[in-house]
A and B are shown apart, each in its own frame.
Chain A
Amino acid sequence: MKSGSNLEKILSQGKFAVTGELGPPQGSDINIIKEKSKHLRGMVDAVNITDNQTAVIRMSSWAAAIVAIQEGLEPNYQMVCRDRNRLAMQSDILGAYALGIRDMLCLSGDHQIFGNHPYAKKVFDIDSMQLISMVKKMRDEGKFLNGDDIVEPPKMFIGAAANPFGDPYDFRVFRLAKKIEAGADFIQTQCIYNMDIFRNWVKQANDMGLTEKVYILAGVTPMKGVGMARYMQKNVPGLDVPDWLIKRLRGVEKKKQASEGIKICCEQIEEFKEMKGIAGVHIMAIEWEQRVPEIAEQAKLLPRPKV
């Protein structure tokens, strides 16, 4: 066992894992986190706590993670490379581990021009690949990036993101291989809509034997309606929302589009269960946490295994 986290136990026992996502508030009101956690408790094995998603300032990820622990959830602490240099990152990892956080997700992070402080100075001292290997070095070698020894090294279960739809397509699987070599233990992909490209990507990963070395969780985001779908198609970087999805959503009248979105999402989850090389699903229902129980129910993911 690498970190002994709940997510790691479930994945290592070959059970189909489910992770959720929780966006901390743009303020310091703890109750919002408690509210969102209520919907997710018992529905997911771990919950991603986003770190200034789309470069919009929110309560810091590790703080929200600690509140999530108090609410009986296992947090998956996200860290982006945009806001901190290697010193801050390593000290945050030590602090997070000390307070009970066992899973981490290493991301590059969106450029600050997308957020509410477009002209803030970027950091990107190290990138996501280097962050993964840094956390692995802290865990396995018990050393900081510069080689100094760590008293009581943090043993994180290292996660990384993967975007099978980003350009250039054929390079994406090699980038996955690099992340595994860097030390990623589990992968959470970008939300999937174009199933063909995703199947092809998984096939390539299987052929290269990558799926034996890492647990891949397929990312899904239920669409609330046509408006959201079109927005995601145009504005979200590196996302491929095919037209048949928008057409299908438009086929149902406004009121019922939300449940249609959830239906599509559950169909995807069904397919992921059977797909070779997929170890679980990552449900990203940002600002829609209250519908996660419905999704988990409908996709027959309950009850979550106790390990």
Chain B
Amino acid sequence: MTTPEVKSIDKEKIKDILNDKKGKMKLSLFVCAHCGLCAESCPLYRAHDRNPEYMPSYKVINSLGKLYKKIKKLDRNFLEEIKELIWKNCVLCGRCYCPLGIDIPSMIALARGVCRSQGISGVYPHSLGAPEEDFPEALSHIGVSEKE
């Protein structure tokens, strides 16, 4: 539902939110060994035929990781991009396992906090204005065909 001309985003506010928890988040991103062991613990990963985009570390690296990296040149399109990753691919159930004990849910929550501060937030398939075609795809994995 983005408006035609791309609204600018309040970079200062984003910086505040990110810097507030910079220590812990940067350390976690830094120490992640990219070992891929968090995958199996994510219900959506398994429910989407182990598609790498549903792996917790993938979601974190491509949302919060990029937010910290591109903190200078952020724009609304980028936030729209990661919106899919941290809302559609993740329900923040908080069960991701990391052998090193990295707190993955708090990282996804921070990325969501940043988006939400700019008015961008996940649209549930069931709320008004949700693209209908979004919905059948989410049910395909459990064998519910279109007509049912």
Q: Do A and B contact each other directly (Cβ–Cβ < 8 Å)?
A: no
Chain A residues near B (Cβ < 8 Å): none
Q: Which residues of B contact A (CB under 8 A)?
A: none
